[in-house]
Amino acid sequence: MVNIKGGIFLPLYSLDSQKTIVKPFLMDVYPVTNEDYKKFILQNPTWSKTKIKSIYADTNYLHQWNSDTSFNATIALSPVVNVSWFAAKKYCECQGKRLPSVAEWELAGRASETKADASKDLKFNQWVLNWVSKSSPKVLPHVGSTFKNFYGVWDLHGLVWEWTFDFNSALTTGESRGNSGLDNTFFCGGGSFASKDINNYASFMRFASRSSVKAKYGVPNLGFRCVKNK
């Protein structure tokens, strides 16, 4: 894990100007790999592919694995995907850690290779946007294949999307839209609503992605990493 300096985070989707103060925290250098997750399964078999309860994961859970504890060797060091929010949260807890908040992830994610805050760097934002605009490959590259940012964290961009603890905080409810008939169990993409920064389109895409899933979903390009209070 590496230290992430705290700072101020202003949500893109916020309906007011309230800023979030993020305290310093520790973040995993790499996303959790299939090999990492296999060790977790061996210690916690109730979270395996065939034994996990349906309330915690859909049928896509660990879809890329051959069985409860086996997968193609080529993906051992690739980020584990098709893992639900419930499972990711449990994994982190078993490591004595937790999932990052949206504010923490975005604070770390705005760092380029040379700047702690590259949110106004057009070249950096374009690079991230180019990645999020592409389809994910069928076989994901190994962790550590993109770039190490200012803090020493690898692959926050360019490999997979990542779960956050409050991933659904970007929702816009039926009441706030004046539509009481809206199904509020679904997280409505409100990433660009009352935005404070209309230039960072990659951030809009991240918020839209987070807002479009449910906690039990397994998504083939959605992984996770853990953080810890300093």
- What is the pLDDT tens value at each position of the chain, 230 positions in all? 999 999 988 776 554 456 889 999 999 999 999 999 999 999 999 999 999 999 999 999 999 999 999 999 999 999 999 999 999 999 999 999 999 998 899 899 999 999 999 988 989 988 888 887 788 888 999 999 999 999 999 999 999 999 999 887 754 433 433 433 333 333 323 333 334 454 566 676 777 677 778 999 999 999 999 999 99
Tokens of 135: 């389809």
Q: Supply φ then ψ for residue 37, to 5 degrees.
A: -70, -30
The answer to whether the Cα torsion of 156, 162, 165, 170 is positive or negative is positive
d(CA 74, CA 20): 40
What one-letter code names the amino acid at 9? F
**Domain count within the chain:** 1
- Helix, strand, or coil (residue 35): helix
Expressed in angstroms, the distance from the first to the final Cα of the chain is 11
Grouping H, G, I as helix, E, B as strand and the rest as coil, residue 130 is helix
What is the model's pLDDT at position 89? Answer: 97
Phi–psi pair at 211, nearest 5 degrees: -75, -10
CATH number of the domain that 223 lies in? Answer: 3.90.1580.10
Domain that holds residue 169: 1-230
Residue 197's pLDDT is 53
